[in-house]
Structure 1
Amino acid sequence: MTGVTPTRGTAAPPHGARYIRIVRVLSVGLGASGVVFIALAIPSITTQLPVLQPWFGLLALLVTPVLPVALSILSRRLPVGVLKVLAGCIGIGYLVVLVLWMPAMTPPALPSGESPWVLGFLALPTVAAAIAWRPAIAWAYVGVASAALGLLRFFASGGSALVVALQDTLYGAMFSAIMTALAIAMINASARLDVAAAAARAETANAAAAAARERQRARVDGLLHDSVFTALLMTAESAVPPPASASHARQTLAELDRLKAHDAAGVPIDAPDFAALQTETIRQIAPDTALSVQTDATAEVHGDAALALGEALTEALRNSVRHAPLARRSVQITATERGVRILVDDNGPGFDPAAVPSNRLGIAISIIERMRSVAGGDAAVRSTPAGGTRVILQWSRS
């Protein structure tokens, strides 16, 4: 729902799902009430129809029980705008019946003690008015219809039942006002809930967009660290031969192209293919690494998860080679229907993770945050001085 701002004393535009639902519920209620009222009024209807003009009798039956019941039956099928028009027809038609009753009645008055049977239906058109029009108009309708009801009651009795007419008017006005107030409250409450729901959806969308931007920032930070910073470091270190720098640059460009294509596709990758890509990466970065791979042939890895796992694995191996060049390394890759788990171990000198400065991006950004930026992803780095290092990368299918 968009553009709905209910204010005090005005009805909300019928754009929200809850507003539409309430209008349909009220329409069903009108039909059910019409059936009850017509059942109670059958004795009066059968005795009074003969004294009314045939056309008027048909009009009165159409406006009071038939239209509300039809509105109830069609409430699930018709657009809300059409339902509101039909509700307005009920309200206007009822006033017409009240005004035309006396001219359409053959004797000048009904038998003593009887009142026009349409008087018992006042609550139906007033609720219909609440459905069709703004609250101010609906309340004005309650006043006009109640006054017309009292006048009809008075003249239909031959002018001899003023006190009874006043009592019927007050009773009808009070009962109709209660029903109208409930209908208006339900409509306004539904409109406010629609506005709140729209605001919540907008807030959720904004939060999701911010999270997406944060994930993108983490990915860019990781790529900068892995590709650019590492390339600069290898170039700056005189101990690294120029061919290695060139090889690393070519490998980085090829990897970026592959990851970009895979990310753009946004499609899942088969677990065996995912493991083959990681095996190739491992052989290029640390050829002596002991590798163990277990995959389900039918398992798939989501595109974003595959990208993050590959990037984090690459960074973990580069860290191991850089800081523990003589260590023995092993990688275990397990990919099943439930997700992926990768263990990267070395028996190098290790370190204290708590002592790593916050501005060091290798662990915080390139591994941990990169994995946590993916739904279902997580990572952990466990190490102790002289105790080696283990990097745990995992992704669980949601």
Structure 2
Amino acid sequence: MTASGALDAPAASRPMPSLAAFTQRLRDRLIMQEDPATAAYDRIMRRLGISIGIAGIIVGGVELPEVAEQGRYAPAWWTVAAVVLAFGWYPIIAVVSAVSGPRAIRFVCGCAAMSFLGALASIPFGLKLHTVDATTVWPFRVTALAVTAAVLAWTSRVTVVYLLTAATSAALATVYTVSAVTPQHVTENFLRSAGLAALFVWCGTAATGAAARVDRESAIASRRAASQAAAHSRDRERARFAALIHDAVLSTLLEASRAGTKSDVLQRQAERTLEQLDECRGAQRDPDLLDARSAVLFLRAAVHEINPSIRFATRTWPGYDDLRMPVHSASTIAAALTEAVRNSLRHAAVPGREVRRTVTATVSAGSIRIVFTDDGAGFDLAAVSADRLGISMSILGRMRQLAGGSAFVESQRGEGTTVTLVWGGDGSR
């Protein structure tokens, strides 16, 4: 197997500026922590978390003049504490969403949502009754942002309860602080706050729900493909046995019925038929085993489902027809292979040229070797920490846990990436 070729563009091999290098490492972090079983859900959680964190920072900056204006009516300590409670978690959400997984994102988003309620609850301690000369108190306008954080933190039912609680608290805070207030004003404020927050709840819930459905459908499609491959293998075995019965057994019996005397030709034909039946009985195959052709077709279909333009080449050694691969082994190899393909498609791009990607399957009597190569940007293996799940678990870990399986990853910045998956069939029968 050959490693991927050198880059065509010399500029790509030059050292990256520090900011660009940090961005690249951050993108690597995002991709490599994904669990393939929940890849779409993890990605949407990260993207929503980063968006909410940045939005919180922007809203905080926009609200600063109003905060300063209304801060004239309150002690300085309360203004600082309320700003920290209302906006302090959003930079943390952005950072955590960039470098960690859904569990950490849910935790910090829940902290941000509860912290906002704390800011509302602190208003009576900082502002006096009917002292603010404005239409609303400034935390009122942060309600929708806090509810959006709650979408990522809790279930839809809990989020709806939080929405009603936050919108009601914000409306009551306006009643307490604003100097001129009417029932119509309070109702309008509540409906405006709850309506805008409900829109964000619907969008966030729809996005996370759709991502979860994508993960479920991907898992179902993978199992269906494995079942179809196994069914195809069983059909081939039935057809082979039926052909043997028709061409050998029935033909021998027919000749025997016609022959009135001893025939050497008939005797040899009968002996050969018995040998074929013994071979068929001795080599009876498990219907959940894939032959060489079915295994290659299964892996090719998995790759082309991700990107049909990737070249898939096959090499065979003498005796490759004897390969018998369990369906679960083929599924594990396909999952590791498609993870390598997805990683390459996401972050191996090189500006100004097309990245070449190739999968080569080498099949022998008792083993199969899959090599995926690209001549893209590559990455520094020494800089990859052990807790990055994309390589350590989704590729290397999967293959280590597979009986007879192993995997190797080779890459350097500017020199592409090679991922090798090997299955030797040990312990498969």
| More deviation, 189-198/67-76 | 189-198
Q: Aligned pair 1:160/2:180, yes or no?
A: yes
> How much has 1:164 moved relative to structure 2?
4.8
Name the counterpart of 1:133: 154
Change (3 A) 1:30 1:52: farther
Residue of structure 2 equivalent to 1:213: 234
Do the aligned partners of residues 78 and 227 (structure 1) sit closer, same or farther apart at CA in structure 2, a change above 3 Å counting?
A: farther
Structure 1 pair 240–213 and aligned structure 2 pair: CA distance change class (3 A): farther
Determine the structure 2 residue equivalent to 1:92.
114
> Could you give the per-residue CA deviations for residues 121-156 of structure 1, whole angstroms, max 9, x where no partner exists?
111111222222232322222222111101112222
Contact kept? 1:267, 1:302, Cα under 8 Å? no
Root-mean-square deviation (Å): 4.1
Paired residue for 1:40, among 62, 87, 92? 62
Amino acid at match of 1:160: A
Q: Deviations over 1:83-126 (max 9, x none)?
A: 223222222221121112221x1666654227443222111111
- The structure-2 alpha-carbon separation of the partners of 1:265 and 1:108, relative to structure 1 and needing over 3 Å to count, comes to closer
Give deviations 1:10-61, integer Å, cap 9, x for gaps: xxxxx7544333333322221232122122112133455684464x556544
Residues 150, 48 of structure 1: alpha-carbon distance in 2 compared, 3 angstrom cutoff: same
Q: CA deviation at 1:267?
A: 6.1
On the 8 A contact 1:108/1:156 being kept in 2, the answer is: yes
Preserved contact between residue 37 and residue 120 of structure 1 (Cα < 8 Å) = no
**Correspondences of 1:12-51 after superposition (within 5 Å):** 16-47=38-69, 51=74
5+ residue gaps, structure 2, are 1-36, 294-314, 325-359, 361-429
Contact 2:52 2:94 in 1 (8 A): yes
The residue aligned with 1:150 is 171
* Unaligned runs of at least 5 residues, structure 1: 1-14, 269-297, 308-336, 338-398
Which of 205, 210, 222 in structure 1 is aligned with 2:243?
222
Aligned ranges 1:52-201 → 2 under 5 Å: 52=75, 54=77, 57=79, 59-103=81-125, 105=126, 111-113=132-134, 115-157=136-178, 159-162=179-182, 164-201=185-222
The one-letter amino acid paired with 2:244 is L
Matched residue SS, 1:122: helix
The 1:306/1:98 distance shift into structure 2, 3 A limit, reads: closer
* Contact 2:86-2:119 within 8 A present in 1 as well: no
After superposition, the C-alpha distances for 1:275-295 in whole angstroms (9 at most, x for unaligned) are xxxxxxxxxxxxxxxxxxxxx
Asked if the contact 2:175–2:181 (Cα under 8 Å) also holds between the matched residues in 1, the reply is: yes
Equivalent pair of 1:22/1:187 in contact (CA under 8 Å):
yes
Supply the distance in 2 between the matched residues of 1:187 and 1:306 (Cα, whole angstroms): 42
- TM-score (normalised: structure 1): 0.53
Q: Matched residue of 1:75: which SS?
A: helix
- Partners of 2:108 and 2:283 lie apart in 1 by 57
Q: Counterpart of 2:124 in structure 1: which amino acid? A: M
Residue 306 and residue 178 in structure 1: after superposition, are their counterparts in 2 closer, same or farther (change >3 A)? closer
The answer to whether the 8 A contact 2:292-2:322 is kept is no
What TM-score, normalized to structure 2? 0.50
